[in-house]
Amino acid sequence: MKEFKIVIACGGTGGHIFPAVALAEDIKNLYPGATICFAGVFNGRIANHLRDSGFRVYHIKGRGMPHKPGLGVLFFAYSAIASFIKALAVLRNTDAGIVVSMGSFSGAPFVFAGKLLGMPVLIHEQNVMPGRANRLCSYFADKIAISFEDTAQFFSKKIKRRITVTGNPVRSSIFTARRAEALEFFGFKAGKFTIMLTGGSQGAHNVNAVFTQAAKQLDPERFQILHLCGEKDYDFVSGEYKNINADAKVFAFLEEMDKAYAISDLVISRAGATTIAEIAAMGLASILIPYPYGDRHQSRNAYFLRDRKAALVIEENNLTKDRLVATINEVFAGCENLQRLRKNSSSQGARGAAGKLSKEVVNFLL
């Protein structure tokens, strides 16, 4: 059995980490002797999780490219050079056979270092609209894996032949829980409509604030709420619920996402690529509130699902407690609405994405 050596480079948010882990786990399941290393900007919790899962971890000091000229460009240039030198050292130290970049400017130094060392390079784009790092790295990649067919239009025509659609890998662990057991885990009742609100791995203060006000108008005899608010907002959100007659459980961060998805009738969330991939893979109804800043990747993701009648969308500048309550009731009151959203959401899911992507990676090593 071949002993593959693979370096996966990625950013430190859940949107990059979770599909990277899903890919790594799929490769390890097929080839237990494979050595997989992660490289990027990781906080302590994520780094420890990766090590506990049997992966080696290398830290680099990645820095995003500034949108405007200024001193930030100098800091970016210094960081990019330092990261490139570190990437060269990591690739030589690990004797890797391939570089896989999951995007971000943490992955870019490994793409360039890999090409300099004559290694095959594969990049994966999770969003509908690719980020600046992946658009740049696509010219140096041997294979560009994308999650949506629509994404191909954003890359140069010169590299179209190197593009393949794999979907966005999701963690196999999210499919393991049963609803009855999950309801008992959270202390919820089987007869109520369960809403899960999550702002993604980084949280979302405005969404948290508006939803806690909306919760005042939701009948606690009909609705129960699982609120994943992020570490920064935990005290604020917990304090708000103390003054609300609501059947709610609040978590800063939740490891047991399989149980959270198993009980959810409706998910209210940002529209990060991994979040929508997991929602679709689970075939769940959702109200998406895309992050309104930066390159607006999340808006593209959200409207991709909305245009296929697989999700409802509220832009943050239109987000009020009354609008949110009305949209929740639209889903809750209309059984046909709920079933249609579930069916269309499921049709956009890509449960086999990890397998497709791992095949593309391994093909370079066989």
CB under 8 Å to 335, separation ≥6 — which residues?
A: none
Distances (CA, A) of 32 to 35, 37, 261: 8, 14, 29
Q: For strands 163-165 and 143-146, give the pairing.
A: parallel
161 conformational bin, left if phi > 0, alpha if psi -120 to 50, beta if neither: alpha
User: In this predicted model, which residue has the larger pLDDT, 296 or 347?
Assistant: 347
127 is in an annotated binding site: yes
Q: Which helix H or strand E contains 253, and what residues bound it? A: none
pLDDT of residue 75: 64
User: In this predicted model, which residue has the larger pLDDT, 124 or 15?
Assistant: 124
pLDDT of residue 90: 97
Mean pLDDT throughout 141-152?
97
Q: What is the third-level CATH fold of 5-170+351-363?
A: Rossmann fold (3.40.50)
Lowest mean pLDDT among 208-222, 223-237, 248-262, 322-336: 322-336
Tens-place pLDDT, residues 10-40:
988 888 899 999 999 999 999 999 999 999 9
Mean pLDDT throughout 65-79?
66
Residue with tokens 């929508």: 276
Beta bridge partners, 227, equal 197, 250
349 is in an annotated binding site: no
Tens-place pLDDT, residues 253-278:
898 999 999 999 999 999 999 999 99
Tens-place pLDDT, residues 156-186:
999 999 999 999 999 999 999 999 999 999 9
* Beta-carbon-side half-sphere exposure of residue 119 (alpha carbons within 13 Å): 27
Distance CA 47, CA 168 (A): 22
14 is in an annotated binding site: yes
> How confident is residue 145, by pLDDT bands cut at 50, 70 and 90?
very high
pLDDT of residue 121: 98
Long-range Cβ pairs for the range 133-138 (8 Å, 24+)? 133/65, 133/103, 133/104, 133/105, 133/107, 133/108, 134/101, 134/103, 136/108, 137/101, 137/107, 137/108, 137/111, 137/112, 138/162
Q: Do 5-170+351-363 and 173-347 agree at the fold level?
A: yes
171 is in an annotated binding site: yes
Distances (CA, A) of 318 to 133, 210, 290, 313: 30, 11, 11, 10
Beta bridge partners, 64, equal none
Task: Yes or no: say if 154 and 135 are a contact pair by the CB < 8 Å rule.
Answer: yes
Q: Hey, where are the domains in the chain?
A: 5-170+351-363, 173-347
Would you state the structure tokens that stand for residue 236, as one six-digit string? 């604020």
337 is in an annotated binding site: no
pLDDT of residue 1: 47
pLDDT of residue 293: 81
State the architecture of 173-347 in CATH terms: 3-Layer(aba) Sandwich (3.40)
Of 244, 214, 228, 223, which is closest to residue 326 (Cα–Cα)? 214
pLDDT of residue 334: 75
13 is in an annotated binding site: yes
Q: What is the mean pLDDT of the chain?
A: 92
126 is in an annotated binding site: no
CA dihedral 28, 33, 38, 44 (to 10 degrees): 80
CB under 8 Å to 25, separation ≥6 — which residues?
A: 53, 171, 172, 354
Would you state the structure tokens that stand for residue 306, as one six-digit string? 């909305």
SS3 217: helix
Of 176, 321, 197, which is closest to residue 266 (Cα–Cα)? 197
Would you state the structure tokens that stand for residue 43, as one six-digit string? 């906080």
HEC assignment per residue over 112-162: HHHHHCCCCEEEEECCCCCCHHHHHHCCCCCEEEECCHHHHHHCCHHHHHH
